[in-house]
Amino acid sequence: MEGIMKELLIIGKAPIQYQVYDLKTKKNEVWMLGTDEREGADVYYELHGIKVNHPNTVYSLPDEVYRFGLPINSSIGALLVYAYIKGYKRITLIGAPMDATHEYAMQKPAVACIIGWLMAKGVKVDWGYMPQNTDYGRVKDID
C-alpha cells in the first residue's frame, strides 16, 4: 500500500454549517455520501444502490474492503477502511456525529472499532467541526 500525503475529509449527511467549498483545500480530498445534494466533493459514494445525479459517484467498493474481518455496517465504516486501503494517513469525519438513535446505536460501536484498528495501523482519525460538547468518539492525536 502506497502512502498518500493528502488528508481525507469524509463528509456524512448530518447538517454542517460549512459548505464543501469552505472545507476543500489543495491539501485534502473530499468524499461525500452520494445522496448528499451539496456540491464540491472529489468523489461521492452511494453504497445503497440509489441512483444520484452526481457525475463522479461510485456505487460499490472493492471486495478487499470487506476482507479485513471488521464490523462494517455503515457507509462511514466502509469508507474508513477504503481510505486505509488507498493509503490515507489522516482522516477527518465531518457531519457524521453518529448520535445514539436507532440506526446509529449499532453503527457507532462498529465505527469505533474500525477507528481503533486504523489507529493501530498508524492512521490518525478525528471528528472535525463537532459542537464543543460532543466528544464521544473524538480521537486525539497520539504522538
**Separation CA 13–CA 38 (nearest Å):** 9
Mean pLDDT, the chain, rounded, equals 84
Portion of the chain with pLDDT greater than 90, in percent: 50
- Give the pLDDT confidence of 93-112 residue by residue, as tens digits: 988 766 666 666 788 889 98
Of 23 and 132, the structure prediction assigns the larger pLDDT to 23
Q: What pLDDT, on a 0 to 100 scale, did the predictor assign at position 70?
A: 97
Average pLDDT over residues 68-84: 96
CB under 8 Å to 14, separation ≥6 — which residues? 95, 96, 97
**Separation CA 41–CA 23 (nearest Å):** 10
Given the C-alpha cell 493509503, which residue does it identify? 87
